[in-house]
Amino acid sequence: MRLIFYFFFLISIIPGFTQDKLINTIYDNATSLSSNRYQQENTRDLILLESAFSEGSVEKVPIKEQRITRIDLVYTAYSESSEFSQEALNKLRLRKLIENNPQLVQNRFFEWRLIEQTGCNDPNTCKGYFHGFVVYYDKYYTKEDMKQEIDTIQQNMRELEYNISRYDSLKRYEVHDLTCAFPPLNVSQQTLSDEFKQYYECDEKFNGKIFFEVAVDDKGRPQNVDIKGTQFPCIKVSENILKYILRWKRGITIDGRSFPFTAKGTITFPLSRDCITITDYVPLPEVAKRYNMEIRGFNCYTYVVDSFYTEIIPKIHKKAVSSVLFRNQWEDNLIIVDATGSMYPYTADLLKWIRLNPTETKTYVFFNDGDDKPTQHKVIGKTGGIYHIQSSSYLDVKEMLFESMRKGGGGDLYENNFEALLYGVNLTGNTTGAIMIADNHSFPRDHELLKGYSGNLKIILCGTERGVNTNYLNLAYHYGFSIHTLTSDLTNLQNLKPGQSVKIDQTSYVLGSNGFEPLVQ
């Protein structure tokens, strides 16, 4: 089921003079070119809507689940009469096209071109030339395309690192010492030795010392025990006993937060009351790196370095994502990101923001609309192609983004935005609000999933140079969401009354009985 306002019949609800104004606006702003004879671009997905020589009939555009990127109006320069007006015929054809396909003028995110053919000079020859419209569609992105987009993002990030190094003298640092403590055991090592002796049953005799490692979670619970060496005869029995009797009161605590760790120890045979000894604690490598951890015996010391890029940020080229995030400084910890084909300039922009804006751990959910699944197999709520990471590390987020891009592609007009949103909500338990980075040229196929969502969704629209997708404006109006573009923040659309308008960037949109419509300039 589509949103009831998704395709308005704009032509039928505006008066005739406004139709003329709309057609004149499209025609006057189209790119005009000439060619000896028009050659269609067969490397792209397209359809031909033929109109007979000197006639204005135009067919209906077949419905496709792909976005239109360009429409060429193709005609010949030759005319049989000096009183003939090619412009009038072109506008008639354009009018017929729009009357048959009113959705084309609701959200005009594609390019219009006028192609004049100059290679014929008599009626019979010109009748053999193509006349009418050529509608070009966006490509359906393959995994190979996504590899190229990943390479482009990598290049963007290398350029960012170069610029950071150029402006490094502007960067400020602050060092903060943090508290750090290894966890105590729940019982003494002597008690552990007694318990081990109580449970240990092995007929084979062994004299000597064995070494073990225990992977411990952030609650102090052993997850895995590994006894080193191959000469000890009762490895499995001993591993099971250690996993059963070992307990710590918590994980390694750093600045009040608890983290997993690895404990190392020994068991000396024959068994005695002091046979078990914990010899070392080892933090996870990423924790040790993040907090610059130094270990001295059973004591640990940590600190963090805050880097302030305040003076660098204005010198870095920003697109919609980083501009909106820097401008608003939201504290939302759930970010939903469209990782389908053609979104790479904006996912690269997100990575720039993360790199220049060290933050607390956030949950990033990337969706690629089904892991390259055929459109006909995509089921609302079960499309898939969703990946997540909970991290504050720019490098970790980048790798998960690339993983989601490698597994997918995209190119559908409709995508699984809200399946990804609810996935993130279920993952984090965060029902209060989230940020969504969305493709202005597409729209969620699964808006019906929002019935149970009451959070404050902030939608950053990418690719609004030709205007804002009014379907997103209608969505925000209906659910109380906010819309954000490169230069605009729309937070109170639901307060508008029918007949009122709002200006976004360079275009005004009026709220009508069926939703928002762009005002024809």
Question: SS3 of 460, please?
Answer: strand
Per-residue H/E/C for 195-223: HHHHHCCCCCCCCEEEEEEEEECCCCCEE
How much is the pLDDT for 259? 94
pLDDT tens track, the chain, 521 positions? 333 233 333 333 334 446 788 888 889 888 999 999 999 987 778 889 888 776 667 777 776 667 788 899 999 998 878 788 999 999 999 998 888 887 777 666 788 999 999 999 998 999 999 999 999 887 777 777 888 899 999 999 998 888 878 777 766 667 889 999 999 999 999 999 999 999 998 888 888 999 999 999 999 999 999 998 778 889 999 999 999 999 999 999 998 899 999 999 999 999 998 999 999 999 999 899 889 999 988 899 998 876 666 667 777 788 999 999 999 989 899 999 999 988 999 999 999 999 888 778 899 999 998 887 777 788 998 998 999 999 988 889 999 999 999 988 766 678 899 999 999 999 999 889 999 999 998 888 898 999 879 899 999 999 998 889 999 999 999 999 999 999 999 999 999 999 999 999 888 999 998 889 887 65
Which residue(s) pair with 443 in the sheet? Answer: 414
Instruction: Collect all residues with Cβ–Cβ distance below 8 Å to 380 and sequence separation of at least 6.
Output: 416, 419, 445, 446, 448, 449
How much is the pLDDT for 119? 95
Q: Are 277 and 246 in contact (CB under 8 A)?
A: no
Residue of 494, 369, 463 whose CA lies nearest to 107: 463
Give the C-alpha separation, 416 to 367, whole Å.
7
How much is the pLDDT for 65? 66
How much is the pLDDT for 8? 32
Give the C-alpha separation, 185 to 222, whole Å.
12
φ/ψ bin of 292: left (φ > 0), alpha (ψ from -120 to 50), beta (otherwise): left
State the pairing for strand pair 111-117/68-76.
parallel
Angle between helical axes of 394-407 and 143-166 (0-180°, round to 10): 160
Start-to-end CA span in the chain (Å):
32
Provide the token pair at 350. Answer: 């997100």
